Chains A and B, each alone.
Chain A
Amino acid sequence: MKTAATLPTPWFAPAWLVRFLRSPISTVVGSLLVLVVVAGVILAPLITHADPMALSSDTLLEPAWAHPMGTDDLGRDELARVLYGGRASLVIGLFSALLSVILGMTIGMVAGFFGGAIDETLMRITEAFQILPKLLVAVVVVSLIGSGLTNEVLVIGLLSWPATARVIRGRVQVIRHEEFIAAAEMSGASWLRVLVRHVAPNVVSFLLVSASLQVASAIMSESFLSFLGLGDPAHPSWGLLLQQGQLFLSDAWWLTTFPGIALAMTILGLNLLGDGVSGSRIVAGSRR
């Protein structure tokens, strides 16, 4: 290992690349998928000059050279709509996942670390939240308070933390009972230092897995809301495109096929990444 790292490597195969390619196949495929999607979404203006909002009289055109993914009922270029729609989906996914991971991590860490009555209370609340049909709650809340990026992020984020909280709490509980934590206490470390210096580093990989799965699940939740007509019409996401596609299902297959592929590719990539980072599919399989 050490010798391999110190050997000079050719420019086309730097050490990090070699290491990456040797990691589990799901990590490699997953990160490539995510990379393609993110690059496409960020570089949208370079990929197509079409304006996703520009109306035209070329309505419901089949995919062709001028419009690789066809056009919709208002003559807008579907490729542009998919690329720019990814921005809405990814932004909502990222931010609501960020919110739920921060919440879940805090609650999981506190419950696992302090144990006792605090743990008992927090876990009962977590369980209750987990049993609640989160998507239906989201539907009711968004219907009542109105759609919009911020509202969607808040609602999805505030409803999705239990999965992360349980994973982190389980992990922290295991670590809490390791002897090195008792040893750290006896080394004179304050509880904050024990938490930050001894517990947290052993939780990070689980947090990464959880975060990647949370982004996937948040994008999925957003598409669900959009499909029910609760998306933000000013920022059409993939889910919203699919809702519009539903209306022309028998006339314009491309309006459902392409946004769906983008959506599934992103979620698959993130799930694969989560699986790969966890080293086996078991962590992903036991997220409850």
Chain B
Amino acid sequence: MTKRPIRWHIAVFLAPAVLVYTAIMIIPLFGTLNLALYGEEGFRGLRNFRTLLGDPLWSDAFWNALGNNVWFFVIHMLVQNPIGILLAALLSSPRLRLAAVYRTAIFVPTILSFVIVGFVWKLILSPLWGIAPSMLDAVGLRGLFAPWLGQEGSALTTLALISVWQFVGIPMMLIYAALLSIPDEVLEAAEMDGITGWSRFWKVQLPLILPAIGIISILTFVGNFNAFDLIYVSQGALAGPDFATDILGTFLYRTFFGFQLQLGDPHMGAAIATAMFLIILVGVCLYLFGIQTRLRRYQF
């Protein structure tokens, strides 16, 4: 038997990505994470982590940020992704008029920069300038209005919803792309079988796009645990009120780069980053090894 020849093309396909990525992301990033093992005075082993998790000064902030982050993620999973899937499912109905218009319109917020998003939502939700209050007034719900962004109970949820508003386009587009790859004739067969509308979605389309849903879940997870900008531009690095909107990203930023009079602490910052990285890594590995390998894929 002849030996299988070495498949050089695999290396060729991987090389450019691996090289650029390793040189410009992995080396700098892991060089930075490495700082977590050091302090001003030199090598500290895992003591930075002990401080992070053991010293109430740090650990309270850490757990607060982690808890907020989990909530932030939960909202995205419960609101953003279902809406995104719903919109994609509707948009993908064959022969829907104006589909491209809707799709573009719904995607527009995703294009906006955080500066604008932060500004406009603060403007809308501001108790002062009257957009939200007067709109609620118009439907007789003025009483419901509260300065949501300023209250500890509602600020995080409000921001999460703003983020959902901004990013719903992402799951929508991914799912839409996945739905497009389902052959029309399979849908036609379903149609002949009397399977239309939602049952078509549940019984035919959804099982076929499960991998894409897996992807948006994991992207949401990763994205949320790395989120930073929206909170930073709308609530500042101190993620007010009273750290109610502090998530790991803002906590990390404050620590790593410093803020106002607080000098950056690259070592503790790197420790937080490492902790975040590990949390995300565990999530991603659970997905990659626990779920992704079990997902069936169908070729069209």
State whether these chains interact.
Answer: no
B residues with a Cβ closer than 8 A to A are none
A residues with a Cβ closer than 8 A to B are none
